[in-house]
Amino acid sequence: MLIDNYQRQVNYLRISITDMCNLRCLYCQPKPEAGWKIHREILRYEEIIKLASLMVQLGIKRIRVTGGEPLIKKDVLLLIKGLARIDGLEELTLTTNGTKLAQFAEQLKENKVDRINISLDSLNRERYSSITGGGNLEAVLAGIDEALSVGLVPLKINMVVMKGINDDEVESFARLTLDKPVIVRFIEFMPISQQGVEWDERYLPAYILKQRLSSNFEIIKCNSVSHPVPLPKGREDNSVHGNGPAEYYQIKGAVGNIGFISPISDHFCVSCNRLRLTPDGHLRLCLGQDAEVDLKLPLRQGATDEELQRIITQAVWNKPAGHQFQLDRPTGRQMVAIGG
């Protein structure tokens, strides 16, 4: 097992395979002049698979592929296939903005991706385009429908709620769960890097959202989240594994569920179980702190598997106790270079 200095078991790895994206979301990568890493600075697929394999040997059980936008990466299915073959890996998932999902959903399912998270911050065509720097909402909605049709479930839709920008759509997002087998999760806006909006002006705590939804719907707390549709063979446990920090509810009579992720108002650092591998090969120990360990350099200099695993084990031991968002200290990297 990978254990840190606070006796937390770390078993979840998020791998950002590119810092490139086909959108320019205002809280993620708002500046057009923000440059992407050059090709040789980015981990190659075989390097990602090697590092992932070593970490699975150490105790990582679940891997999420992220970006940037992973589905714009050339031959991304080759990477997915390689990760899916890692012995001991229990779950492989992917986060996407959904713009390319319609054309990839069936192939992702065929290549052993267990489920999908979709980042979506507005259901209004014009507003979505404004938030994303020109994105096409219809393409995302088509991707959601295709993912559901091929059985990529439970499908999670992540909405970053920003006061005065999209918070008036919270009820509309919640209504998606009434007749669609989806889990809509409302995420508190975090002060990460140089953003296109002021964090303190746009932050809205999750408890306010719960109060609002409770006044419009009868919502029931869930101990676990039932899968809205049958699971694939071998995964008939009828509950979502606790990969993350969401607190789940269900609107009475709804097909799907809603969740709240509150890293600011009620942070969950005491139970954090995750690491992030950045596109340029750094192991990031906390989303809200800039502490990172370079794995690419020793890997390319010929370090043995045992040496790399010692570096990883020591890095995990030094994982910070918690983020520093409450101190209003934005991270140095933009979100697109960290991985969602």
- d(Cα 159, Cα 185) in Å, to the nearest integer? 6
| Bridge partners for 92 per DSSP | 63
User: Cis omega (within 30 of 0) on the bond before 68?
Assistant: yes
Q: Check: CB of residue 16 under 8 Å from CB of residue 339.
A: yes
At 339 the pLDDT is 65
Q: Which domains are seen in the chain, by residue range?
A: 2-337 (3.20.20.70)
- d(Cα 18, Cα 33) in Å, to the nearest integer? 17
Residue 195 CB contacts under 8 Å (≥ 6 apart), including other chains: 26, 27, 30, 330
Which candidate, 138, 174, 187, 206, places its Cα nearest to that of 27? 187
Instruction: Give pLDDT tens digits along the chain (340 positions).
Output: 899 999 999 999 999 999 999 998 887 775 654 556 778 899 999 999 999 999 999 999 999 999 999 999 999 999 999 999 999 999 999 999 999 999 999 999 999 999 999 999 999 999 999 999 999 999 999 999 999 999 998 899 999 999 999 999 999 999 999 999 999 999 999 887 655 567 778 999 999 999 999 999 999 999 765 544 443 444 333 334 344 678 999 999 999 999 999 888 877 788 889 999 999 999 999 887 878 999 999 999 999 999 999 999 999 999 998 766 654 555 556 666 676 6
At 324 the pLDDT is 62
Which candidate, 276, 277, 293, 285, places its Cα nearest to that of 321? 285
CA distances from 91 to 98, 113, 121, 207 (A): 20, 8, 26, 31
Burial 13-44 (b: 16+ CB within 10 A, else e): bbbbbbbbbbbbbbbbbbeeeeebbeeeebbe
Residue 7 CB contacts under 8 Å (≥ 6 apart), including other chains: none
Is 142 exposed, middle or buried, given 0-12, 13-18 or 19+ CB atoms closer than 10 A?
Answer: middle
